[in-house]
Amino acid sequence: MPAPAPAAGYSAGMKRPLAAALHNHRIAAAAAAAERRWQRREAIRAKRGGAPAAGALVPYVAPPPPIDAQPMHAVPHAAVAPKKPKKAAAEARPPVEPEWIRDLLFEELRLTRDQPLVFIGERKLTWSDLKDHQNRFRLPTLGVQQRLLPMLTLDEAKAAHLLKNNEEGLPMPMKRRRPEKEINVVEGITDAPDQPRKKGKEHGGLPVTVMHGNDVEGKRELQLVVWESTNGAVIKGNGYMDFIKRTQLKEHDVVQIWAFKRREFRFFGVNVEESPLYLLIVRAPVDPPVPLI
């Protein structure tokens, strides 16, 4: 009996279709080609010093120990100047009183050594403090509000225009100080030195005796007043330019302002008269340079 004919897609002696065999062969060839491409890429990467392939074993190399040395230009921490405190913090801590104020100046002014001495503030001088076109010395606003005002009586504060309400006795609100150029326009002052100064508003003020250092002979009777246009306290009056020129102060100099006033009191049956309100301007001490060790 003759053998039956092979099924469609099969050849004699085959157990699977020819198309399936060709498909499996193509898959195997593609896998082998992909393997060869991967090996070539790894060889190129290793030759260039690239990162090893994922899963490759990498030997651990411990880092070298730190070197106990400093750069040639390193500065020890102890020799580095400390950072300057913020302005608000610096204002909250009055500086040390100059010893000569109590030892020499108070004695020459016939004041007792225990006379209260109040630090008003510290500031850097600007051109407007030294020029006759302004003819005034600006006081630190925070120091006037927090330190000078408590020294004054109600009538004295009114005379200086430091109170916004005469009945309640409240201090004037502090405003942001305007630029010098804007202040000049409001006060009727010109910036040009050759032009005559316009007459500004009469502000009056509280009489004060202004001194520079221990120069008792150079003291001047001036006025302390708050300017309405800037809401800032200033020292002004006839004789101010003579006073400021005698001090030989220059622009950018840093000065401290101190205040003191003896109130009337009775001593062994004798009335001791009160003194003027003194405003003392002194150069701020310069911190010595920190030595480099």
C-alpha distance from residue 153 to each of 76, 157, 195 (Å): 53, 6, 40
Write the pLDDT tens digit of every residue in 115-138.
999 999 999 999 989 988 888 999
pLDDT over 90 percentage in the chain: 35
Residue 282 has pLDDT above 90, yes or no: yes
Q: For the chain, how big is the Rg over CA atoms in Å?
A: 44
Which range is least confidently modeled, 4-13, 27-36, 102-111, 239-248?
A: 4-13
Domain ranges of the chain: 16-49, 79-283
Residue 174 has pLDDT above 70, yes or no: no
Average pLDDT rounded to a whole number, residues 228-246 = 89
pLDDT of residue 131: 87
Homologous superfamily assigned to 79-283: DNA-binding pseudobarrel domain (2.40.330.10)
Give the model's confidence band at 21: pLDDT under 50 very low, under 70 low, under 90 confident, else very high.
low
Higher-scoring residue by pLDDT: 267, 277: 277
C-alpha distance from residue 280 to each of 38, 238, 252 (Å): 88, 18, 18
**What is the distance between the alpha carbons of residues 151 and 276, in angstroms, rounded to a whole number?**
12
pLDDT of residue 188: 40
Q: Which two tokens stand for residue 171?
A: 């201090």
First to last CA, the chain: 117
Residue 265 has pLDDT above 60, yes or no: yes
**What is the distance between the alpha carbons of residues 206 and 163, in angstroms, rounded to a whole number?**
13
Residue 137 β-bridge partners: 235
Q: CB under 8 Å to 163, separation ≥6 — which residues?
A: 154, 157, 169, 170, 171, 172
Write the pLDDT tens digit of every residue in 176-225.
444 444 444 334 444 444 444 555 455 578 999 999 988 999 999 999 99
Give the model's confidence band at 102: pLDDT under 50 very low, under 70 low, under 90 confident, else very high.
very high
Residue 142 β-bridge partners: none
